[in-house]
Amino acid sequence: MSASTRWTLFVMLLTVNVVYQLVYPNTWHQIAVSSLTGLGLIGLLIEYLARGRRER
């Protein structure tokens, strides 16, 4: 995954997370979406970290 792909994914997940929170606060599906995007973000970061470890 190249740097630009990674950043694009990051921004997209974050935007979905935030916008959903603003538009549908306090609903069950908002919590689901937020959790999923949150997990996705964390996954991205872990992948970035692991890639660095491997390269070294």
Which residue ranges make up the site for another protein (CB under 8 A)?
10, 14, 17-18, 21-22, 25-26, 30, 34, 38, 41, 45, 48-49, 52
Using the minimum distance from each CB to another protein, give the nearer residue, 1 or 38: 38
Supply the minimum distance, in Å, between the C-beta of residue 7 and another protein: 9
C-alpha 43/C-alpha 37 separation (Å) is: 10
CB nearer another protein, residue 5 or residue 26: 26
The residue to which tokens 């069950």 are assigned: 28
Residue 6 to residue 19: CA distance in whole angstroms = 20
